[in-house]
Structures are given as C-alpha cells and as structure tokens.
Structure 1
Amino acid sequence: MSAPVEAGKPRLRHLRADFTASLVVFLVAVPLCVGVSVASGAPAELGLITGIVGGIVTGLLPGSSLQVSGPAAGLTVLVYEAVRTYGLDMLGVLVLAAGALQLAMGALRLGRWFRAVSVAVVQGMLAGIGLVLIAGQLYALADISAPSGGLAKIGGLPQLAVDAFGSAASVAALAIGAGTIAVLVLWPRLPSVSRVLPAPLAAVALATAATVVLDPPVARIQVQGLLDSVQPPGADGFARLAEVGVLGTVLAFALIASAETLFSAAAVDRMHDGPRTDYDKELVAQGAGNAVCGVLGALPMTAVIVRSSANVRAGARTKASRVLHGVWLLLFAAAFPAVLGIIPVAALAGVLVHAGWKLIPVKELPPLWREHRGEAVVLAVTAVAIVVTDMFQGVLIGLLAAVVKSAWETSHVHLEVSGPLHDGTGPLRVRVLGNATFLRLPKLLDELEALPRDRAIELDLSGLRHLDHACRTALAGWAEQHNEEGAVPVRLPA
C-alpha cells in the first residue's frame, strides 16, 4: 500500500508549487492586463477577459507547459491603431479572424518556421513597439490625450512638457506616474519583499493608495463591469473582412502574436528542465485562445515573457499554475470590479513606460554592434520603420532588410589570376570564386576591368557556387567587349 502513497507525493508537491506560482502570476497579471487594455483604447475589463482566456483556455491546451498567455505590451500599439481606425465593435472580428489564421498555421505545422525569422527583426520589432509605447504613455502620465502615429507622438513631446508643467492636475498625474516607475525600478532590489509581492502590483497598489489618501485631481480607470464589456462580433463586422486594410490588420495580429509567442517559448524553455515546447501545438493553443477572445470581443493574446518568467521563478511544475492564475483573474474580475475604478490612469501608464523600456534591448546593442554589425543595422531599421510607418509595414521592411543583409553577406565573389599580370605575353587564367549576385556586380566588374586589355584571358567560372542572371549578362557583355579587342574568346558555361 506504500507505493501509491509514495507515487502521490510528487504530485502533491507539484500541486503545492503550482498553487503558489499561480498566485504570483495572478498578482503580476492584474496590473499588466488592465494597463495594456487601457493603453489599447479598450475598457479595462477586456484585458482581464483576455488574461482569463489565456489562463483557462490556452493554459489547458498542449504546446508549452509553463509559459503564460494574456494581453501583451507588444501588441498595444497595433490594437490601439486598430480600435482607432475600425472601432471597438470591430475588435472581436479582427481577433477571431487572427485566431482562425493561427489555428490554420498550427494545423499546417508552420509553427517551426517562425524560428527562421531573424532574431534582429524580432528585437527590432519589440524595440519599435517599445519606443512608440513609451512615447504614447508619456502623454497618459500627464493625463493628456496623445496624438496618433509614432512620429506625431515623438514630435509632440516638447509641447507635452509645456502643457504638462502648466497644469496642476497634470503635475499631480506626473508625480504619480513617476513614483510608479521609481517603485518598479527599485522594488527588485529588495529581494525579501519582491519575492512576496511582485513589483507591478506593488507599484500600482502604492500609487492607488496615495491617490485615495491625497485625492489629487487625476483620471481614474473607467469601470463598466465584466459582462457589460463583452462585445461579441456582429455580422456587419465579418463583411468588412474583404477590405484590404482589415485583412492586413488580421495578418499583423496573427503573425506578430505568433512570432512573439514562439520566441517567448524558446526563452522559457531555457529557464526550466521540463518538457520542451511543441511549436505547432502551441500555435494551435494560441489560435484557440484568440478565437475565444474574438467571440467575447476581447483583446488579442500572446505568450508574455514577464508572466512566464515569473511563473518559472515561482517554482511552477505543470500547466496547472497558468490555469489557476486564470481562475484567480476570473474571481477577481467578478467579485471586485469596483477596485479597478480607484486606480489612477497615470499609475498604469508608468507600468507601461517601464514595460516599453524593457522591450528595447539597450544592453545587447553595444556588443551586437561590435560583433554582428549587420544584425544591429537590421534591428535599427526595423525599429525606426515601425516608428515612422506602422507595425505591419515596419516588420515587412525589417524582414526585407534582413534578407538583403543575408544576401550581401553570402554573395562574396573574388578573382584568382594565374600567370603574371604585367610581365608576360601569354594568356591569363582568371578563376571566379564564390557567389556572383547582383549585389556584388560592381565589385566584380571593377576587378575584371582592371585586368590588362592586351592579354588573352581564359575565364573559369567552375568555382562559382551561384551565378544569377544579372551577373551572367554582365559577364557576357564584358567578354564580348574584351573579345573585340583581339583576346582569346571568353566562353561562359551554359
């Protein structure tokens, strides 16, 4: 009779660890879910609904065992633009369609292909999101409406400073937001306290307490109630899926959420010794979660590294921890909705400014520039493109930059000349080695044209691994011109 008891002990230890971890993740998730939702231009409750679905629905499905899903700062800018452009009632359609696309990609086993995306593009995407997020939330720190567009937000910062310090209400909001950021930065340096209470919750709780006690004239979160915030998509919304802009937004939701999820999964897998992530199953799980979020009219979800790393560090052993965190979010949203109404908007803006800063790989940039300068350029191009244009176009520009960079690095070509160049009259044997592409064509032609014009040249292309059409045409033109000058005919391979 002892064997079943012994076998049950590990399961009991796992349950205890998962229960404790779920509470930690819940405490981290509450301010982030609410903050992301408010910054996205949606009711605060929608962020909690996405967190609940991410825990209970996605958490139960196979894929990754320990990473946690919910509304993410990385999608805030995209969701805000979608809500501003198409309206909040269209959000459910966009998220549902994105979830269906993720389900299809998972079923077609495309999840593993996301690992082929350049890390520099992903880091640049997150950095661009971080920059736009910070710029937008600086306005929220002062309880001032932000202009639309990344460039407009950044360009309006000087006027923001003038307006903010000219208003007592804005100064009070700034003080609350700055205090929130200070707590977020300093709290992890108090290990004995931070292990018990996560920094985001502590920062928002202290800011809320100060607001309640001092009662400054600052904006608070508008509360609608959990059920009142649910907005299922209507038939008119589905009819708009034929629009090019809507389809582009759906594609951006699906691809960016999937990329962030799978890169988060790779990072979380390095943090623990448990089962590794099945990327295709995880993509299906995310698609199912986003489909449910779409039906409820909530925000899109993705796996989030902050909550996932908190889950691992808290000692989670199985997926039960992330499911339980969804249960706690549901109980909180159902039982204590009025608590949200006393939270100052500036405090949540402070949380998101801090989150946006963490999206920018500040520490990684100097060594990346020293060791892989091309990757650093791709990262910077992606980030700047997102700020200047929008999320979708910026990522496409980043991917194009990564492709050009890879093509440039792999298209090395050089000449090996047999025989004396200047002392002699016999033919020169010139061997072309490497990958001859249009990117290296100027260099190749410069080297060929530097060869003596009064010597016969035997051109050997057998050392080329690749010869594209542009180079073949240019070589044929050079050979024809050289042959007219009386040299031995240059023959190109078929």
Structure 2
Amino acid sequence: MASDNLIQHVPASSGGRSSSTFAADFASSVVVFLVAIPLCLGIAVASGVPVAMGLISGIVGGLVVGAIAGSPLQVSGPAAGLAVIVFGFVEQYGVAALGPVLVAAGAIQILAGFLRIGSWFRAISPAVVHGMLAGIGILIILGQIHVLMDSKPAAGGIQNVVAIEGSVEKLWHDGITTQTLALMVGVASLLAMIGWEKFRPAKLKLVPGALIGVAFGTLLAVGFALPIARVNLPASLLDGISIPGASDFMRLTEPGIFVTVLVIAIIASAETLLSAAAVDRMHDGERTKYNKELFAQGIGNGICGMLGALPITGVIVRSSANIQAGAKTRLSAVMHGAWVLALVALLPQLLGVVPLTALAAVLLVTGWRLVSLHHVRHLFDQHGWVPVGIWFATVSLVVTQDLLIGVGVGLALSIAEIVPYLRRRLHIETAETEDEIYLNLTGAATAKSIPALLNLLEKLPASQPVRLTAPDLHYLDHTCAETISEWVQRETRAGRRVIVEYASSESSERHHRVDPQLRRFYSEAAA
C-alpha cells in the first residue's frame, strides 16, 4: 500500500513527462475538434439559428470554459439537449431575445456555484434525467427528419409528426426534386456514419463517424453539383456576433422569457453535471468539482449571451472522445476551441460546402443515442417498474406536451415515491482503523440524502479499503442506490477495495424482504 501511494504521488515535473502530457492533449484536441465541428453546425441548424452561433458557442466552450472548468476532462459546447428548447423559443420570441436569456441563465449558474448547490443536481432521479434526454432525443429525430428532406421542421413533436406527410409529398412532384436529392444525400451520410462506426479499422478508431458521414455527404453534393441547401456562413465570424441591446434585456420581464431563463439554467446545469458524473466514471484521475463546474458553465453561458450565441453545457459525446483519445488535462479542451476558431477564421469557405441534410443525419444519430433504451433496461433490471414508469411518464409528456411539464411531472412522481420515507433520516456512522474504514448506514436512504452522502464518500482517505454495512437500513430508493453503486464501481476501478456486506440478522432480512430495492442493490454489489 505504501509503495502504491509513493507511485501515485510522484510529481509529473520532468521534461519527458510534461512533453508526453502535452503530446497526448494535443492529439486529443484534434480528435475532439473533428467531433465538435459537425455537432456545432448541426445543433445550430436544429436550433433554428444561423450556424455561426453554434461555432461561436463551440469556441467559448473550449477556450473559456475549458480553461476554468471543474471537470478536468469534460468538453463543453452547444448541446443537442437544449436545441429543442432554443428552437421553440426562437420561433416565438426571435433570435435577438436569446442573448439576454443566456446572460441571465449564466448568472443563475454562477450563483448556484457560489451557493454550493451543485451536488443537489446529482440528487435528481436518473429516471427523470434520462427520461428528459430521451424525450429531447425523440423531438430531435422528429424535427431532423424534415431537414433530411430539405424541409423546415415544426416547433413541437406532434406538429412534426403531422407535417411529415407534407414533407414526403414534396419528394414526388414532377420527377426528382431538390427534396429528393437532399434525402438521398442525407441517407447516404447516415449509412456512411453508421457503417464507419460499425466496421472502422482499429487503427482509425479515433476518427469520428460524424466526420465521415458529413464528409461523404459533402463529397456527393459537391461532386455532382447538387442544388441542395448548404451551410450559410457570414464572410467573417465577427459578422456572426450579435451583441444584445438594452431593449433586448428589458424583455426579460416578460413571463414566457423569464420562464425560459429558469428552464435553460436548470436543464443546462443538470445535463452538465450528468455528463460530468459520466466522465468521472470513464477515468481514474482528478474528480469533478461540481460547484466550480457550475460556475464555469455560468461564465461560458454569460459570454455566449453577450456574443449572441447558443447555450452551452458539458457534453458527453465530445468528452468521451476526449478521454478515449488519451487526454490528460483540460488543455485538450482549450486547444480544441482554438482549432475551431482557426478553421472559422481561415477556411470558412470549407464549411460553406457542407449540405444541411448531412448535418441532419448526424443529429438523427445523436437523437437516437439520447433515447438510450439500454438505460431503460438497466432501470428495470436493477430497480423494478417504478423508475421505468417515471421514465416513461417523463418521456411521454416531454414529447406530447412540453419539456417543462414532462420534467416537472417526472420530479413530482420521483418525490411521491419517497414521501413515506422523507421523515426518516439517513444516519452514517464512520470508524477508521489501521486496516479499513467502516461505514454503517441506518434509517432511510433517499435522494435528499445524496449531497451529504457524496460529501462524506468523496472525502474519504484515498486508497484505504472501505467496508460498507447497512444492517438497519430500512429503505433505499433507486436514485441513492445508483449513486452508491457508481461510487463503489469507480473506487474499485481506481484500486480501492470496497466491501459491501449483506446483513444476516433476522430483523434485517425482514426489512430486505419488504424493500426489493435493497435486495437488488446488495446482489449487484456482491456481483
């Protein structure tokens, strides 16, 4: 154990180590840049705004948020999860009203960071978070089906379903139409992307499928000189910057706009911290400082608002590419922002040949991944029907009604699940010996216990074995069970020995028979 600690704390100050770290970050930044470009363009299209706004957000997410982020390997930029919200907002209030909304939402995120409430976002039920993302994914798919056919999407899910017949009819007027050509290029891009991700050579595993799909669609459109819609960029990136005026900020007093401020602040924060938690599970290095990450996102969104760009969050697609490419520090995220800036400043004409239908193909895949049916199977296998029901209710209402309604109902259902146990507190008894740290949980472990529980778990001395017991734990909800399981898995990967003991007393067995969640949790921990 002592030798492990010595190895772990050797400072990386030698020239060789520094140069190797820089080389790894440099290579990773190029990979993230190749992933980010089609997503920045595509999310702007899905948001119903000029593509320059997506590129500006990508630059800010890299250069600004990357430099001050609390999650060392997370990459920030425009997120598909907010595209649906922005699209509906812009349709109703106009693009000019978006800047002040982002400034206000960023201020809320900064305040949340200062008030240290970042950990409370982790107490949101996974069923609600993934249900929200799945609903957004379905809305993205329904909208981008129209873009794939060179038609304009509607603002809502039901409206897009109704409008599909009209978009399809445009494919068959007097022979081959531009809509038909767009659909052919879009489908070719989609097949190229899926085929690359399924069959790509091992030596080229870091080349993103989105880049291949967009490149293939672009080659088809340019090679055959097809008259289909392309990316429209201003002559200069500075022309794409639209600083909001005083009259725009005065509109924040309008009820609908103020509600959007709260929605973007909450959804952007939740998506960022969800992504950060997933990023932490992918590596064994420095953990996310959640309140610092909220502060950084607030700064980034405030700057995006002042530049007239799109809202940003921490995004899992770019972050996972960053980690898989071998990134070591946040420098990779910063450099990827510099590459986006360089491309837009030096070679904007290169982006101007990209067909919109190819970007729609990228977003169709992105939307499908947000739906994440494997998470539903995980919820059912590990936690039963209740969280699956919460997930389904959230998805249904996000798609058919409104994102705020869907998330609100999902949160209400998740709270209703634990109402009978809210009066019972979770008590955590700790004891430390030379060999182990003992943690004993008693009472009821619900979502409200998560901030205090995580604060304790994440402050435990590194590498020392932990024995977790809960002989008198009466209740464990699925949110708390997921949180503990993820911590156990992460610490085990990092080399810590964690023992979860199943209580054998007669009274404890009776509690476990009453609460199937406890049985599932112990079974998973034992496995």
Measured against the shorter chain, the TM-score band is: 0.7 to 0.9
Per-residue CA shift, 1:232-279, capped at 9, x if unaligned? 111011111111111110111110000000010000011111100000
Q: Could you tell me how far apart the structure 1 residues matched to 2:259 and 2:11 are?
A: 55
The 1:5/1:400 distance shift into structure 2, 3 A limit, reads closer
Per-residue CA shift, 1:278-327, capped at 9, x if unaligned? 00000000001111111101000000000000000000000110000011
1:46-125, aligned counterparts within 5 Å?
46-125=53-132
Unaligned runs of 5+ residues in structure 1 are 412-433, 436-464, 466-494
Report deviation, 1:155. 2.7
Q: What residue identity is the alignment partner of 2:210?
A: P
Equivalent residue number for residue 219 of structure 2: 209
- Matching residue within 288, 292, 315 for 2:303: 292
Equivalent residue number for residue 379 of structure 1: 391
192-201 or 12-21: bigger deviation: 192-201
User: Is 1:195 the counterpart of 2:205 in the alignment?
Assistant: yes
Equivalent residue number for residue 219 of structure 1: 229
Contact 1:124 1:383 in 2 (8 A): yes
SS at match of 1:216: coil
Q: Could you tell me how far apart the structure 2 residues matched to 1:405 and 1:159 are?
A: 43
Percent identity among equivalent residues?
A: 45
Q: Could you tell me how far apart the structure 2 residues matched to 1:5 and 1:216 are?
A: 54
Contact 1:133 1:356 in 2 (8 A): yes
Report deviation, 1:184. 1.8
Contact 1:74 1:129 in 2 (8 A): yes
Q: How many equivalent residue pairs?
A: 413
- Matching residue within 28, 31, 34 for 2:41: 34
User: Is 1:135 the counterpart of 2:142 in the alignment?
Assistant: yes
Report deviation, 1:196. 4.7
Per-residue CA shift, 1:61-83, capped at 9, x if unaligned? 04010000000111100011111
User: Is 1:250 the counterpart of 2:297 in the alignment?
Assistant: no
Q: Could you tell me how far apart the structure 2 residues matched to 1:238 and 1:294 are?
A: 11
- Matching residue within 278, 298, 303 for 1:267: 278
Equivalent residue number for residue 479 of structure 1: none
Equivalent residue number for residue 161 of structure 2: 154
Report deviation, 1:24. 0.4
User: Is 1:311 the counterpart of 2:318 in the alignment?
Assistant: no
Q: What residue identity is the alignment partner of 1:180?
A: S
Contact 1:102 1:284 in 2 (8 A): yes
Q: What residue identity is the alignment partner of 2:399?
A: V
The 1:97/1:47 distance shift into structure 2, 3 A limit, reads same
SS at match of 1:117: coil
- Matching residue within 170, 189, 198 for 2:179: 170
The 1:292/1:367 distance shift into structure 2, 3 A limit, reads closer
The 1:69/1:6 distance shift into structure 2, 3 A limit, reads closer
The 1:112/1:4 distance shift into structure 2, 3 A limit, reads closer
Equivalent residue number for residue 354 of structure 1: 365
Unaligned runs of 5+ residues in structure 2 are 1-9, 424-442, 445-473, 475-527
Q: Could you tell me how far apart the structure 2 residues matched to 1:194 and 1:353 are?
A: 23
Q: Could you tell me how far apart the structure 2 residues matched to 1:152 and 1:333 are?
A: 35
Q: Could you tell me how far apart the structure 1 residues matched to 2:172 and 2:109 are?
A: 46
Q: What residue identity is the alignment partner of 1:113?
A: W
SS at match of 1:156: helix
User: Is 1:324 the counterpart of 2:335 in the alignment?
Assistant: yes
Q: Could you tell me how far apart the structure 1 residues matched to 2:377 and 2:210 are?
A: 29
Report deviation, 1:5. 11
Q: Could you tell me how far apart the structure 2 residues matched to 1:105 and 1:98 are?
A: 11
SS at match of 2:373: coil
SS at match of 1:70: strand
Question: Considering only aligned residues, what root-mean-square deviation do their CA atoms show, in Å?
Answer: 2.2
Equivalent residue number for residue 468 of structure 1: none
Report deviation, 1:193. 5.6
Q: What residue identity is the alignment partner of 2:178?
A: A
Report deviation, 1:409. 8.5
Q: Could you tell me how far apart the structure 1 residues matched to 2:67 and 2:160 are?
A: 40
Q: What residue identity is the alignment partner of 1:376?
A: V
Report deviation, 1:158. 3.5
Q: Could you tell me how far apart the structure 1 residues matched to 2:97 and 2:378 are?
A: 43
Contact 1:226 1:334 in 2 (8 A): yes
Q: Could you tell me how far apart the structure 2 residues matched to 1:158 and 1:5 are?
A: 61
